[in-house]
Structure 1
Amino acid sequence: MNAWRIPGSIAALLIITLLCTTLAALFISAPLPSLSKVLSDPYLHHLLVFSFKQATLSALLATLMAIPVARALHRRHFFGKTLLLRLSSMTLILPVLVAVFGLLTVYGHEGWIASLCRAMNIPYRLSPYGLSGILLAHVFFNLPLATRLLLQAFQSIPSEQWQLADQLGMRGWYLFRFLQWPWLKRQLIPAFALIFMLCFTSFAIVLTLGGGPQATTLELAIFQALTFDYDPGKAALLALIQLLCCVLLVLVTYWLTPQRSHSISYRTRWQPKVEGKVALIIDSFALLFFSLLLLPPLIAVVSAGINSHTLDALKEPALWQAVWLSLRIAVLAGVFSTCVTLMLVWTSREYRLRQQTLAAISIEGSALAILALPSIVLATGAFLLLNSTVGLPRSPMFLVIVVNTLMALPYATKLLESPMRDLASQYARLCLSLDIRGWQRLRHIELPALRHPLLQAFAFSALMSLGDFGVIALFGSQDFQTLPFYLYQQIGAYRSQQAAVTALLLLAICFLFFMLIETLADPHADS
């Protein structure tokens, strides 16, 4: 077996083994319901239809809106651009309770916009609950993600192609069609598929903003089967249906995605020249819309967190113990997730260089398959598996880190696979001629060139773990409290002012952490 096959094969085997064993633990723990009875259930049909409907609409809105926003961010320089990009990167890892609090403060029936409309005698009809509320929250969370992914596609265009287009006088529609679109469409379908699966498996947003049984998804039905009905067999069967749906989507995505390699210069960047008032108006409107969607909910969290109880809340020892535990879990999960992702994309890249596309898809698909299983299913399955075999550990920290590592892999893979593939296309012949292989190639060629994507993948993974509530909801206790769990306890005890302070602190930690990583990754970032 060639050495380059080993890292990705080991990582993929571990991932699939963990997924299969945890799912099997749910099947074994309880008798399965009748498959025909479940499949003929009208309520299940409603769940599937609504899950596909809200996920499709959310993914379409996020990806289509992201095209003009990413294009504007790529070709415009303005004060606060770096800050806006860093804030947008945080929405993916914001704790859902914090973000929903901000969205309701702005868009709720008693929110800022409703109050402004009443003052102007304008009827306010937007409901933050039901399908409209779910779509609003999903676009808030996923538009920045789609923007970052498409912005990466714009930034991947080689400087030589920009220079040639400038010499030919290409502008406007022709520049977009012949230069930008071939690069953009490589990322567009994967971005849509990733956001679709995120929305299809969305749990906390649908739980808080669904507004009733008419707006219930398959993910929420799995949660209800585990908690209210305590029927692990039904939950496993529903999770298997969800897994099949997502795997089918992954296969369709790889079939539709163009798999072309291009030479990329990571050392130089070409700033495209933009002329004309129409382009300026379009870019200004796109950036204004993006800012108005992103900033007000974050401002609402900040304004609510600064109150008369702020200093007293910050003096609580339990708060800082939760902060320390959260940071430890986040850093370890970020390191593990980045290392496992690097193993996967390294082996996948080698398969693609040898035209073994099916093997490459299998390696990459092992990471995306994690999106099909909710974190609560993974955590519950792992709990049942350990309880029936070696016994539960004294501290759930290791289990929380493992599940958070797995849940971050799809995002880290999306951030690393395209840069790794394009870098191989550029340097493969040179490395072959110089006989640079294995660890030496990774150390001297790839790691320096992939510094920014690697640190970005680490930041996303760590911050997702920092804001996670799904796993800690099962294992949290008075002796094991992360910051999201501490916030949940405050909300449950109706300590709203202290909870607002905790939410603000969590937001501030996420922002400072990500800003530090972004600065280390790109110390010459333009402001």
Structure 2
Amino acid sequence: MLTRVEHRTSRMAGFAALICVGLALAVPVAVLLSHGGATGLSASQGDYLIRITRFTLLQAGLSTLLSLVFAVPLARALARRPAFPGRRWLINLFAVPLGLPPLVAALGLIEVWGRNGIANKGLSILGVETPFSIYGLSGILIAHVFFNLPLAVRLILPGLERLPPEYWKTAANLGMGGISLFRLVEWPAMRRSAASAAGLVFMLCATSFTLVLVLGGGPAATTLEVAIYQALRFDFDPGRAVLLSLIQVAMTLIVMLALKLISAPTETGDTKGGASSRPDVQGGLNALPDIVLIGLGGLFVSAPMAAVIVSGLSADLTRLLTDTLFWRATATSLAIGIAAAALSVLLALLLVRARYSAGDRPGSPALGLLAGLSSAAGSLTLLVPPVVLGAGWFLMLGGGTGQLFAPLMVIVLINALMALPFVIRVLEPAHLSTMERNGRLAVSLGVVGANRLWQIDLRAMLQALATAFVFAVALSLGDLGAIALFGSDRIMTLPWLLYQKLGSYRTNDAAGLALLLGGMTMGLMIISERLGNWKGNTQR
């Protein structure tokens, strides 16, 4: 509950936040349009655009298909075996790729699947002479499945675990098993979550940048985002970058609209396991297929992370930790991350409060518009990928050559916008709970305005604010997309330094940096999760 003055202030602040977000998205797009307006489309450019777009859709479609083909049986196996030792650790392991920097994961995948990796060494022992190549389409698919298989499993599994025991009793009484059990009981429970997971995975793969940049291996395996980066960073061809950016935005918009149509609840639910009376659960040798499938899934996800740790520990960490360039890159990354997180939390808080105010006392088209735009602000930031945003700002700043402050501010802004959807998702339930618990009491006691915001609301939301802030810092710390266009000797972040080490084939240094960057990012993710689960006395 808010007073009349608080309602007015919240709505004004919400409109101001929407204007900031809108300008941050519209300005770079307008710059792209202005630079590309006079550019003609030759036959060779048309063929190039068709080829890049076709490959982007192909790799995204294949990545989605492979992720779902393996995720569905793995989720079924985990649902059938709810109480085996280490199950909870495995579910937590599947959450790690969600916060792992793509550049760190790429290095781990190279260690496992590269020419001299574990997989090829195993194949050579079996007599296979032709080594498996991690570069090109095959490497992109492996990397995308590594990231999205665990995500799809975590989205599908709760639907299976929430099935009532009566379903299994009825299935047992009817003698169901195998295909009929999957078709009539399991598939209806996972259909919407699987469709939602497929749409989300497709969008993540279609807008993938870092993994394709590192593992693409050449022009034949280039997606739209990488082509935009190459057009500006290497060729400085604004017209081509504009055409690619417009195609990317249009494709992202189509995918987002499709996601809205097939949206399903995305909460992970309780995945600790419990009693099961499924008719298809048997012990002994009958459990072997599930054990093998779960074991292979855990090995596929854990092997690259273990490889990063092993190769990182074998690097000269002492020399890296005493290198001034490492500490300069670390300081820059943390400064960008903290600034981006602070901006993202501020915008999210203003939007969440404005949405609550507009929904609490609706009464005009303006309030309805405010509520709708505040709700859609997070999704709008996903409409324009980081590389497209960076391309617009890159052109407006003339490439950022010789500048320092302006490119840094652009990087902070892009990282803040990319974290905004996740920050809103953390803050909105906490804000609603605070209003329900303390709203009427605060008004009745006369604690209103800035005093109420500082003494009651923000303190009650402190846990959620800290969780969102740390999570946003972690996302920014491992991001390469925003720095890719502006990175230089003057603007050096940890991901950019790691990418340079990989590009110059200094693999030992890259392994050490990957371990340090991954450790920092995962440490922040663990802190964020612990803050989110902490039942302290901050809520009141």
Alignment of 1:241-252 (within 5 A): 241-252=247-258
Whether the aligned pair in 2 keeps the contact of 1:403 and 1:471 (CA below 8 Å) is yes
Which of 211, 215, 229 is matched with 2:221 structurally?
215
**Equivalent residue, structure 2, for 1:65:** 70
Measured in 2, the distance between the counterparts of 1:511 and 1:475 equals: 25
Matched residue, 2:332: 325
The residue correspondences of 1:87-106 to structure 2 (distance < 5 A) are: 87-106=93-112
What is the Cα deviation at residue 138 of structure 1? Answer: 0.7
Kept in 2: contact 1:38–1:44 (CA 8 A): no
Q: Which amino acid aligns with 2:139?
A: G
Q: Determine helix, strand or coil for the equivalent of 2:405.
A: coil
Distance 1:403 1:60 in 2: 30
Structure-2 residue corresponding to 1:16? 22
Partner Cα separation in structure 2 for residue 338 and residue 220 of structure 1: 29
- The 1-side partners of 2:308 and 2:413 are apart by 30
User: For 1:102 and 1:45, how far apart are their aligned partners in 2?
Assistant: 32
Match of 2:54 in 1: 49
Bigger Cα displacement from structure 2, 289-298 vs 431-440: 431-440
Assess if the C-alpha contact under 8 Å between 2:415 and 2:476 holds in 1.
yes
Residue 286 (structure 2) pairs with residue 284 (structure 1): no
Letter of the 1:322 partner, please give it: A
Alignment match, 1:491: 502
How many equivalent residue pairs? 506
The answer on 1:376 being equivalent to 2:397 is: no
Quick one: structure 1 residues 129 and 491, their matched pair in 2 at CA, closer, same or farther if it must change by over 3 Å? closer
SS of equivalent residue, structure 2 residue 115: coil
DSSP 3-state at the match of 1:475: coil
Q: 3-state SS of the aligned residue for 1:472? A: coil
- CA–CA separation in structure 2 for the residues paired with 1:305 and 1:259: 38
Residues 33, 491 of structure 1: alpha-carbon distance in 2 compared, 3 angstrom cutoff = same
Query: Which 5+ residue runs of structure 1 have no aligned equivalent?
Result: none
C-alpha distance in 2, partners of 1:179/1:351?
A: 42
Deviation at 1:137, TM superposition (A): 0.8
Offset of residue 233 of structure 1 = 3.0
Q: Which residue of 1 aligns with 2:141?
A: 135
> Taking every aligned residue pair, what percent have the same amino acid on both sides?
34
- Written as runs of structure 1 = structure 2, the 5 A alignment for 1:55-454 is 55-69=60-74, 76=82, 84-122=90-128, 126-150=132-156, 165=166, 187-257=193-263, 272-275=274-277, 276-277=281-282, 284-307=291-314, 309-341=316-348, 344=351, 363-385=374-396, 394=405, 396-412=407-423, 416=426, 420=429
Shift of the alpha carbon at 1:227?
A: 2.4
TM-score between the two structures when normalised by the length of structure 1: 0.77
Report the CA distance between 1:98 and its aligned residue: 2.5
Distance apart, 1:133 and its partner CA: 1.7
Q: Which moved more, 1:458-467 or 1:363-372?
A: 363-372
Name the residue aligned to 1:503.
514
SS of residue paired to 2:514: helix
Closer, same or farther in 2 for the Cα pair 1:386/1:117, shift >3 Å? Answer: closer
Q: Which one is further off, 334-343 or 481-490?
A: 334-343
Question: Per the alignment, do residues 147 and 362 of structure 1 end up closer, same or farther by CA in structure 2, a change over 3 Å counting?
Answer: farther
Please tell me whether the aligned partners of residues 326 and 482 of structure 1 are also in contact (alpha carbons under 8 angstroms).
yes
Which TM-score applies when normalising by structure 2?
A: 0.75
For residues 115 and 402 of structure 1, the distance between their equivalents in structure 2, rounded to whole angstroms, comes to 44
Q: Would the aligned equivalents of 2:423 and 2:472 in 1 still touch at CA under 8 Å?
A: yes
Unaligned 5+ runs, structure 2 = 536-540
User: Alpha carbons of 1:392 and 1:38: their partners in 2 closer, same or farther (altered >3 Å)?
Assistant: farther
